[in-house]
Every structure is written in structure tokens, then in C-alpha cells.
Amino acid sequence: MATITVRNLDEQTKQAIRERAARNGHSMEEEARLLLGAGALADNPERVLTSIVNMAEPEATVENYAPGSQHYFPARGKTVLLIICGGIAAYKSLDLIRRLKERDVEVNVVMTRAAGEFITPLSAGALSHSKVFTDLFDRQDEHDIGHIRLAREADLIVVAPATANMIAKISHGFADDLASAILLASKNQILLAPAMNPAMWNNPATRRNVEALLKDGVQFIGPETGEMAERSEAGRGRMTEPMDIVGEIGRLLDDRPKPLAGLSVVLTAGPTHEPIDPVRYIANRSSGKQGYAIADALAAAGAEVNLVSGPVELARPAGINFFQVESARQMHQAVKNCLPVDIAVMVAAVADWRVANSADEKIKKKPGSTGPVPLKLTENPDILKFIGHHEQRPKLVIGFAAETRDVIKNAKAKLKRKGADWILANDVSPETGIMGGDSNTIKLLSSSGVDEWPNLAKDQVARRLVDKIIAYFDSEIISV
């Protein structure tokens, strides 16, 4: 067995091991030994350890994914009892089963008789890889009072779609079929995802039933506002999308520590699109990946995240408040609407200028004209500066600076000018990979100096930043 002299490790590696050890409840020595594993036998264990900590952090990354993520899911290995009722949205519950199974959640399915009019137990069983229960008086299942067993074995009972009928039954304690008997016999958390016609949802009887269930501690997700399956009907009543239900299930079953619980964040991500005319726009190469990874990591640490996103090709993260915008002016307004918050993380690559003379109609080429239509640009609002000097300034204001040269010099100037506490500068010159890649080389500037990070995957950058935010608020609490 080789030995490691902690003194020989660089500061960054020591800090990373310290943070991991604290997170995992180990001593530094134990954490180093665990990380190193077989590498302890290598010629130069210090070097091996440094590269493990700085390059590949599979455990740390996996541990800290947000509730909806497929990489790590807080409900992994837990059991969800899914009750499917008889509504049009029942077909979406098949997708819900699939998404949960992908995340290694054990799914037991109960279908009401009416649900069987919309989907078959065969498809639900094929997706959940287990028998689907439908009958309260099933001789095989009820020899050991199967409905009580199903109620007790689940970590969470999810009713999706929850019909007006089922909501009425459970709010009054009926138990005249398998689903309602399970719900009455359950001592577990119950999550309802209602889906019904807006008139049914708004009916005073349904309102009373929902109110009573909320008082009893039953959780609800949705319904959402939008178009109904019925032709030309719209309003509140659509079932929440399966991925958002997955996010909520993750949140309800997430028992990891939540160091940022009680803190709120506004975070911007992605590019902005500045219209030239209704079909053309000016944009940049930002992919939104870094901002989305930070949103994920902040949510996993328990913060209430408000993500204001420009147009990107990424799946909307689960378990956070999401605001879709296009232009810098819309982003500015959405950020303003989120105030007051404790933390601002401005990751979006906001266009500095917009087209002052943008057209309401598509600009056409004119036959015989000599050249293109001149575009007149005007400055966009500076969102970071706005928030850094706002009377409701968040306690911690963090900005990103994408620079193609003089990275530190430009970022230092930005730190002061914008009223930010930290600037994460990244070199986006063509030699280092421009924007849109999967990694970043960050230099974190603050009033105490420059912290240079190695090239890290964007989710690792997110983790490291969130660890710093946690440490910042820890020290805040101590000094109070």
C-alpha cells in the first residue's frame, strides 16, 4: 500500500477532497482512500488522486442531480403505487410508468374499472414489468388482504389521472373499489394529478372536495391550463405532463440533505433572440447547458429555483419554476418579476444589442436594389448590472463572462461595473472551443482574488459552484 502526503497535493485538490468528505460524512483520509481505490497501488498516488478529483467525479455528480434527472433520481429503488383512473389522460400514465422504470423506481399499478375503458392492464403490466391490480375481490390477491399490503408497501401513492369521481370518493372516505380502498387504508403520502374538463374542475363540489383533501395533507400536482381533448374546449383541467410528475415524485421522496433549503434563486440561461423581422433574428452560440446544469444542482441542494431561459434545445428541468423568454427585454422583465430572491446567477448570453428598426413584416429583397437593408442596433438592458445595483439586490449576485481575450482583465472590470459578487469567466476563444460544448474552464473572480478551475464537464462546474454557494451561506449563518 502506497502512502499519500496531503501536503503534496495542490490547494484545489485538497479543497475538493475536503468538500467531498464533508458531503459524504467521511474524514479526509477516508475519502481519499475511497476515491483512490486500486489507484493506491500506483507509482504516484498523489497524481492519481489529483486527476480523479479534478477530472472524473462520477459519484459526486450522480449524487447531486436534481429530482427529475435520469442520471440520479432520489426515488431510485423506492416503490410507487400508481393508481390510474378512467379519464382521457390515462394514456399519459403509460409514459409515466416508463419514465419511472427508466429511473429504477419499482412501480405497482392499480387500474379502476373505468381506466380499463381507456387503456389495458396488458400495456400497463408490460411497462411496469408486474401484475396490474384491478379487482378488490380478487381471490388470489385478497387471501392476505392485498389492498392493505399494496397500500403499506408503497413509499408513495400516485393517482394519475385523478378523476373528479375519485377525488369525490376519497374526500368522503368511500372504499367501494380496489383504488379507493387502498387510498383509505393508506398511511403514506398521496399525490394526486387531477385531469378533467374545466367545468368539472371548477364545479363547487370538486372545489370543496379538493379543499378537504388539501386540509388532510394530500398533495396535488396540477391540473394545468390549456386545450382539452374535447374539441374547442380550453381552461384548467389538463393533467400535468408525466416528466413534471416524475420531478414531483423525486422531490417528495428525496431524503438527501438540503443545505440551500429556504433560499430562492433567479437564474438565467441560454441565448437571447433579437428579431430583425418576424422570421429572422440575431442570436449567439450559447446552448444553455451550463445554466441548466446549475439550475439542476441548485434544485438538488434544496433551493427554490426560478429559471428564466432563452430559446434552447434542452428538456425543461423538473422541479423548478420555469419561465420561457426569447429576447433580452423579455428576459429582463422576467428576472424583475422574480425579485426579491436570495441569489442571482446570470448565466445567459444576453445579446448586448437589438435591432432598433426591426420590421413587423418580412423584409423582402427589392428587385434592382443595390445592397442589403441596413440594420440599426440599439443597446439592450444590462440584466446583471440591473440586478447588481437593484434596491432589492440579492445577497449573492453571480455573473458569467464569456471572453475571447484578456479573460481576467475583462472579467475584473465586469465584476466592479456590474455590482456582482462573483464573476465566472470562461474563455470562449476559437482555440478553447467557443460556446456550446460540454465543458468549461472557469476562472472565478471575487473581491478575494482569482480561483482558477481546471477544465470540467458542465455538471461538475455546476456542482463546484453550488458547493461554493453553500459555503458562502454557511459562513453567513455563522457570522450572524
Ligand X SMILES: Cc1cc2nc3c(=O)[nH]c(=O)nc-3n(C[C@H](O)[C@H](O)[C@H](O)COP(=O)(O)O)c2cc1C
Answer yes or no whether residue 87 interacts with ligand X by CB under 6 A. yes
Q: Which residues pair with 456 in a beta bridge?
A: 440
Q: How far is CA 177 from the centre of its chain?
A: 37
Answer yes or no whether residue 461 interacts with ligand X by CB under 6 A. no
Question: Are 249 and 189 within 8 A, CB to CB?
Answer: no
Smallest distance from ligand X to CB 213, Å: 14
Verify cis geometry, omega within 30 degrees of 0, for the bond prior to 367.
no
Answer yes or no whether residue 164 interacts with ligand X by CB under 6 A. yes
- With contacts defined by CB under 6 A, name the span among 40-48, 81-89, 181-189, 357-365 that binds ligand X: 81-89
SS3 assignment for 439-475: EEEEEEEECCEEEEEEEEEHHHHHHHHHHHHHHHHHH
Task: Give, rounded to a whole angstrom, the gap between the first and last alpha carbons of the chain.
Answer: 46
Answer yes or no whether residue 132 interacts with ligand X by CB under 6 A. no
Question: Are 446 and 459 within 8 A, CB to CB?
Answer: no
Binding mask 299-318 for ligand X (x = CB under 6 A): --------------------
86/169 Cα distance (integer angstroms) = 14
- With contacts defined by CB under 6 A, name the span among 83-91, 139-147, 269-277, 302-310 that binds ligand X: 83-91
Select 228 or 260, whichever has its Cβ closest to ligand X. 228
Smallest distance from ligand X to CB 164, Å: 4
Answer yes or no whether residue 175 interacts with ligand X by CB under 6 A. no
Q: Is residue 284 annotated as part of the catalytic site, yes or no?
A: yes
70/76 Cα distance (integer angstroms) = 10
405: CB partners within 8 A, 6+ apart: 429
Look at the block and give the residue holding cell 403505487: 81
Answer yes or no whether residue 61 interacts with ligand X by CB under 6 A. no
Select 168 or 434, whichever has its Cβ closest to ligand X. 168
> How many residues lie near ligand X (CB under 6 A)?
15
Question: Are 352 and 379 within 8 A, CB to CB?
Answer: yes
Candidates 61, 64, 69, 165: give the one binding ligand X (CB under 6 A): 165
Answer yes or no whether residue 195 interacts with ligand X by CB under 6 A. yes
Answer yes or no whether residue 407 interacts with ligand X by CB under 6 A. no
Answer yes or no whether residue 196 interacts with ligand X by CB under 6 A. yes
Answer yes or no whether residue 88 interacts with ligand X by CB under 6 A. yes
Choosing from 284, 380, 426, 440, which is the catalytic residue? 284
DSSP state of 349: B
Length of the chain: 480
Candidates 61, 112, 134, 290: give the one binding ligand X (CB under 6 A): 112
The three-class DSSP label of residue 83 is strand
Question: Are 81 and 153 within 8 A, CB to CB?
Answer: yes
Enter the C-alpha cell of residue 457.
Answer: 464537464
Answer yes or no whether residue 166 interacts with ligand X by CB under 6 A. yes
Select 176 or 438, whichever has its Cβ closest to ligand X. 176
Answer yes or no whether residue 115 interacts with ligand X by CB under 6 A. yes
DSSP state of 40: G
- With contacts defined by CB under 6 A, name the span among 85-93, 260-268, 315-323, 393-401 that binds ligand X: 85-93
Question: Are 343 and 303 within 8 A, CB to CB?
Answer: yes
Enter the C-alpha cell of residue 281.
Answer: 433574428
- With contacts defined by CB under 6 A, name the span among 109-117, 296-304, 453-461, 463-471 that binds ligand X: 109-117
Answer yes or no whether residue 85 interacts with ligand X by CB under 6 A. yes
33/265 Cα distance (integer angstroms) = 36
Answer yes or no whether residue 163 interacts with ligand X by CB under 6 A. yes
Residues forming the site for ligand X (CB under 6 A): 85-89, 112, 114-115, 163-166, 195-196, 200
| Catalytic residue numbers, as ranges | 284
